[in-house]
Amino acid sequence: MSAALPTSSREWHLVARPHGWPKAEDFALRETEVAAPAEGRILVRNKFFSVDPYMRGRMNDVKSYTPPFKLDHPMDGGAVGEVIASNAEGFAVGDHVLHGLGWREIADVPAKHAVKVDPDLAPLSAYLGVLGMTGLTAYAGLFDVASFKEGDAVFVSGAAGAVGSQVGQLARLKGASRVIGSAGSDEKVKLLTEEYGFDAAFNYKNGPVRDQLKEAAPDGIDVYFDNVGGDHLEAAIGALNVHGRATICGMIAQYNATEPTPGPRNMALIIGKRLRLQGMLVGDHADLQPKFVEEVAGWLASGELKYRETTVEGIENGYDAFVGLLRGENTGKMIVSLA
Ligand SMILES: NC(=O)c1ccc[n+]([C@@H]2O[C@H](COP(=O)([O-])OP(=O)(O)OC[C@H]3O[C@@H](n4cnc5c(N)ncnc54)[C@H](OP(=O)(O)O)[C@@H]3O)[C@@H](O)[C@H]2O)c1
């Protein structure tokens, strides 16, 4: 046990359920007392926590694959930090751990829900992104769910984000015939083609997705990795070749919608083209974790895989980071730094 523990910690609470776009009044940064960890628990000083699009769904009071955030309770999510007190076998003060109690400065974590990480192998924040949840999503979603094979032409939306930028580069590294991405600014589009090796990219705000995709993929696509939904999905169904596959990973275009959103109008194409559209949840793919870490760590070390992070400094800016993510203010993984 450590001698001088902090006595208080700040944490973000959801105080009202957002209707449409979240507002600052829906959240509060509150102070709480810190106690020594009970048996089987560790106290962690968080250095980075993750803000992710799926958290918007957890702000609604609806049944889903993850329970909704409780009002007037701390929100949670991925975080990495340093153990400052341990009452659990196998964890010592000074260890670095990945765990699920983000959105707060000091986390009282059940040791069985913490995984040790090595800060010398990769920067700590990478365990939330390229080597973490979003990285595994890209890896599993492309190689397992979409059954990617060498020679496939791949289109990914949200391509400058954490998942999307990794999907495009993984496809390139494994021999895609063509990699196409869409993103929400000309600067992001430039990054895709000039740094990440995409063959073509377009800004979806510059014109209809269907027309821009047709131009970028004149011979059609074999795989679509959907992070966005809406007009992107409809355009991809139109562009997919016979026996094409789509991983339905996210539909961020509708996360703040207040009315049901219309589906693609060209679903009948699925029949004649024998398409497979499959939803995915990263949590189902833990079996791929060792292979994912080995391969991705190798590509990072060789410089073949690149990544960006957008880091927002300070716990007091946690809400701004989250809303900024929904607005597209991030390039690569959006992370809040408490370091
Ligand atoms: N199924 C799973 O297990 C799983 C796991 C992780 C993530 N996901 C999903 O994967 C997607 C990407 O997640 P991420 O963590 O990598 O986030 P991210 O892509 O790093 O950040 C979200 C991005 O979405 C884009 N965006 C926001 N509104 C949009 C709109 N109306 N139309 C098109 N793009 C929009 C913004 O970029 P622009 O500037 O390009 O608009 C923003 O940067 C999300 O849909 C998320 O829910 C699913």
Per residue of the chain (339 residues), what is the pLDDT tens digit?
A: 446 899 999 999 999 999 999 999 999 999 999 999 999 999 999 999 999 999 999 999 999 999 999 999 999 999 999 999 999 999 999 999 999 999 999 999 999 999 999 999 999 999 999 999 999 999 999 999 999 999 999 999 999 999 999 999 999 999 999 999 999 999 999 999 999 999 999 999 999 999 999 999 999 999 999 999 999 999 999 999 999 999 999 999 999 999 999 999 999 999 999 999 999 999 999 999 999 999 999 999 999 999 999 999 999 999 999 999 999 999 999 999 997
Instruction: Please state the pTM of the whole predicted model.
Output: 0.98
Which residue's CA is the nearest one to ligand 1's atom 29? 253
Atom of ligand 1 nearest to the CA of 249: 1
| Contact call for residues 66 and 5 (beta carbons, < 8 A) | no
Whole-number Å distance between alpha carbons of 263 and 321: 30
Q: Which residues line ligand 1 (CB under 6 A)?
A: 52-54, 134, 137, 158, 160-164, 183-185, 188, 227-228, 249-250, 252-253, 280-282, 325-326, 328, 330, 334
| Contact call for residues 105 and 114 (beta carbons, < 8 A) | no
Atom of ligand 1 nearest to the CA of 329: 43
Residues 6+ apart with CB under 8 A from 301: none
For residue 180, give the amino acid letter: I
